[in-house]
Structure 1
């Protein structure tokens, strides 16, 4: 199956993961609306797609405002006649510990990631539903939204919120033939490039060398192109029955994440009083409490960062 005749919007696609998604969608036959806040990056992305034989136009604007969402959809329809696929990838980081995080740190990340996803999906769906041809909504999540991460209160909230919205949209949009899924990429990006644990993998990619198997297989950490195939698949007719899912991908690994379920259900006649909990917690509940954060294996010695 190809994406011939399909039209896609990819937010935040001037570089990095977003550019990889736009390139793959175009390679599979879709026309693409590229989006970035950097005019030169957007222009370069369009040129890259076109140089490979694809079709693309750019919208230079920050996601979040409804006006940007309207412009993205309007551009897709005016230039290519329809809209079939939306990939909400745009994002920013304002990492700092909770007690140091300012209102602006929090609001900026929520505006771009969470509100930007909401406004863009809402506008896309307002076009897709009456058009009657179905559609594909693909929202980009993060391991931080699934597990939490130190210094990322704002980012964790936004990415977890996106997953909640996607599950709701999968229910609301099913009758219209529109699927909604979350992709959780694990790849060499500007963010992971600053993490010493991934230094050997990031360096290998930068040098044009194969990423070591430890990263690709054991950690599921790869390149932006490793994620792009899943984006194209979810945008295709082959994924018409896939909706409401959180799918992680990176390197050689693909994961379908579970939805939250109760780890234990216990009943007590009269309810769970303070005294009852003090008595029962150590023996009944403590063993099923859940871990938080990501837990990585120890780096093999050959990949350990050099110490001064």
Structure 2
């Protein structure tokens, strides 16, 4: 599946998942604007792409501000003459339980994940609409945004917001031929290593050991490269009709997430008292109530 002639921005592309996305997109023929806050990591990704015969440039900047987003779009246009795809991947973690989470902990994660995707998405949409040939916006979500995650108020809120953002953009950008989707990756990474259930699996992975089948299948947990295939497909012409979706991938599993849906309704002439709500909850709603937390950690 080729991306020859396409130009892609990948934020947070210096290591781990973002680096895997950038390398896979370049291998498929795309020119890549590699963004990261770490100059050395960004330069290494660019070097690996160009050494393999691809095209890439680095932009060292922390996403979040409009200035950084505009710099990325300008780099794509000045270096390669166009912008076709944005992969908004950059992120940070500041894990704390609610009563210990500071304003700075919350703001740092929201600024990078949510505001950074917004500003980069806006800059990309402007460039794509001006060219008039469509485009692809790919936002990176997380199971934390789908199910909640203990100690991650900031991260879960940002990731849930990104899915809603992609669905909104799919409506707003449809006439311009620009798709917007969210990818929900589950892969071994430094972020995954912070989850106690996966710490040893990650350490074994870094040491060169394979990932046990039970984790690849039952936990949908694999390598960053396992996720990159979905990014390449969403960046291609083959996914032109796919928009507003949240698609999960990891290990051996590919998944399509449902939009939020009403599970049950009850109607009562004249409205509801607190006592009547209690009764219908117990009789009809309680059996349908959904648990919080990722099902893979049950």
Q: TM-score, normalised by structure 1?
A: 0.94
Distance 1:142 1:135, change over 3 A: same
Q: Does 1:39 align with 2:39?
A: yes
CA deviation digits over 1:232-252, x for unaligned, max 9? 000000000100000010000
User: How far did 1:48 drift?
Assistant: 1.1
CA deviation digits over 1:251-287, x for unaligned, max 9? 0001000000001011111112212112222112111
Q: Which deviates more, 38-47 or 27-36?
A: 38-47
SS at 1:201 equivalent: helix
Counterpart in the other structure of 2:282: 282
Counterpart in the other structure of 2:173: 173
Cα contact 2:218–2:296 (8 A) shared by 1: no
Q: Does 1:139 align with 2:139?
A: yes
Counterpart in the other structure of 1:7: 7
The runs of at least 4 aligned residues of structure 1 exceeding 4 Å deviation read none
SS at 1:149 equivalent: coil
User: How far did 1:195 drift?
Assistant: 2.9
Cα contact 2:181–2:243 (8 A) shared by 1: yes
Counterpart in the other structure of 1:235: 235
User: For structure 2, which runs of at least 5 residues remain unmatched after alignment?
Assistant: none
C-alpha separation in 2, matches of 1:196 and 1:73: 38
Counterpart in the other structure of 1:49: 49
C-alpha separation in 1, matches of 2:280 and 2:202: 48
How is 1:178-257 mapped onto 2 (pairs within 5 angstroms)? 178-257=178-257
Root-mean-square deviation over aligned CA pairs: 1.2
SS at 2:8 equivalent: strand
SS at 1:296 equivalent: helix
Counterpart in the other structure of 2:113: 113
Q: TM-score, normalised by structure 2?
A: 0.97
C-alpha separation in 2, matches of 1:272 and 1:215: 47
Distance 1:297 1:108, change over 3 A: closer
Cα contact 2:25–2:32 (8 A) shared by 1: yes
User: For structure 1, which runs of at least 5 residues remain unmatched after alignment?
Assistant: 299-308
Q: Which deviates more, 183-192 or 197-206?
A: 197-206
CA deviation digits over 1:92-138, x for unaligned, max 9? 11100101111111111111111000000000000101211100000
Counterpart in the other structure of 1:304: none
C-alpha separation in 2, matches of 1:75 and 1:126: 14
User: How far did 1:198 drift?
Assistant: 1.8
C-alpha separation in 2, matches of 1:86 and 1:79: 15
User: How far did 1:294 drift?
Assistant: 1.1
SS at 1:221 equivalent: coil
Counterpart in the other structure of 1:262: 262
User: How far did 1:205 drift?
Assistant: 2.3
Counterpart in the other structure of 2:99: 99
CA deviation digits over 1:121-156, x for unaligned, max 9? 000000101211100000000000110011100111
C-alpha separation in 2, matches of 1:240 and 1:137: 11
C-alpha separation in 2, matches of 1:170 and 1:234: 13
SS at 1:182 equivalent: strand
User: How far did 1:49 drift?
Assistant: 1.1
